[in-house]
Amino acid sequence: MGWFWTDATAAPSPSAPGPTAPNHAQATGDASPPPGCPMHKPSAEALSSSSCQRPSAPTTTTPPSSGCPVPHGAREAASAEQQPSILSKLNPLNYMFHSISQEPAPNQTYVLPTTRDPSSIPKGDGSGNWEYPSPQQMYNAMLRKGYTDTDIEAVPGMVDVHNLVNEGAWQEIVEWERRFSKGLWRGWEISKRGEENAPLALRRLEAQEGPEQEGPSLIRFQGRPKEMTPRAAVLQLMGRIYPSKFACDPPFDRHDWYVSRTVNGQTKEIRYVIDYYSYSPHPDAEPVFSLDVRPAITPTAAAERLVRWGGDVWWRAKGKDVGETGK
């Protein structure tokens, strides 16, 4: 889910039904993800239902810290003869391979498109927008990650679905940044009349403020499919206790997106956590994707989440304005 690469020529650039989350974005795909698609397996299984299978994707590794923990001296000669590690082959911006070929894989008989679609997501360095991989590049990347049983004819549809879902994730981040990037009080003014009225309140406020400041951009992201977020784990637990209200499959993927936010001329890095869910309203229906997008917990992010959630709860609890209910 959400593969991007940074090289604009030879390599591609990066990237539930959670019934209680107030800020889910939903999208439907034109084609159902194939059974062999590794991106639609649950992200964790510690608290998942019995029907969930262990995802076959390997855990994504993170880059090492600047201090080298390995003693040198006698090991230098031996390490010089070792093959390059997998980590050294990964792009530190997205933890994917630096270069993915557009050439057909060995013994490949089905021709895949090599066209890459641009995303609407600006790069953090200001060099344009991220680009999605072509179907051929995605297929080659999946082979390198060990997914050798992938249905090659389904890869173009997989690319379309994943691009669509990532665009939805970015729109959710943009909306959050529009609401809270200028401060908590402004965010409360937008959120205090509930989620149903927040878009109108935001447009009115932006019209009063004049020209917009520079919008957010994506610095880098990390896929963490085997690490269930605390929020997703709580939803799974609640689903076991109250299945009639909270039952849902675990997320099939989890990403951390690092976003650039401009505050009073200063650039800050904000980490967003995204849980990806999918379900079908009925057996013959197209899949529906639900995204639970929110900033990772920090003191500021916790306050933002409380303001957004609290404003919606308060608005619904008091039964809207007396003046509006009387109209």
Evaluate the CA torsion angle 132, 97, 92, 41 in order and state its sign: positive
Kindly state the percentage of the chain with pLDDT values over 70.
66
Backbone angles phi, psi at 87, to 5 degrees: -60, -40
Q: Is the residue at 106 inside a domain?
A: yes
CB-based burial, 19-51: b 16+ in 10 Å, e otherwise: eebebbbebebeebbeebbbbbbbbbbebbeee
Domain that holds residue 110: 24-57+87-181+216-296
> Residue 306 pLDDT > 90, yes or no?
yes
> Does residue 312 sit within a domain?
no
Neighbours of 318 (CB within 10 A): 11
Cα 220-269-250 angle, rounded to 5 deg:
60
Residue 325 lies in a domain: no
Q: Is pLDDT of 256 > 90? A: yes
- Please tell me what DSSP assigns to residue 316: H
Separation between Cα atoms, residue 158 and residue 136, nearest integer Å: 12
Is the residue at 234 inside a domain?
yes
pLDDT higher than threshold 70 for residue 82: no
User: pTM surpassing 0.85?
Assistant: no
Give the three-class secondary structure for 171. Answer: helix
SS3 content of the chain, % helix, strand, coil (to 5): 35, 15, 50
On whether residue 189 sits in a domain, the answer given is no
What is the rounded distance in angstroms from the CA atom of residue 48 to the CA atom of residue 37? 19
The pLDDT confidence band at residue 101, using thresholds 50, 70 and 90, is confident
- Any domain includes 247: yes
CA distance 235 to 243: 10
Q: C-alpha angle with apex 219: 122 to 116, nearest 5 degrees?
A: 50
- For 117-153, letters b (16+ CB in 10 Å) and e give eebebbbbeeeeebbbbbbbbbbbbbbeeebeebebe
Number of domains in the chain: 1
pLDDT at residue 303 in the model? 95
Round to whole Å and give the CA distance between 49 and 247: 9
254 or 61, which is more confident?
Answer: 254
Q: Is there a domain that residue 289 lies in?
A: yes
Over residues 44-75, the pLDDT tens digits come to 444 444 333 433 444 444 444 444 433 334 34
What does the pLDDT read at residue 99?
66
Domain-located, residue 207:
no
Residue 158 has pLDDT above 60, yes or no: yes
pLDDT over 90 at 262, yes or no: no
Of the CA atoms within 13 Å of residue 81, those in its CB half-sphere come to 3
CA atoms within 13 A on the CB side of 209: 13
55-89 exposure pattern, b = at least 16 Cβ within 10 A, e = fewer: bebeebeeeeeeeeeeeeeeeeeeeeeeeeeeeee
Q: Has residue 236 got a pLDDT over 70?
A: yes
Interval 304-323 mean pLDDT? 83
Helix (H, G, I), strand (E, B) or coil at 234: helix
283: CB partners within 8 A, 6+ apart: none
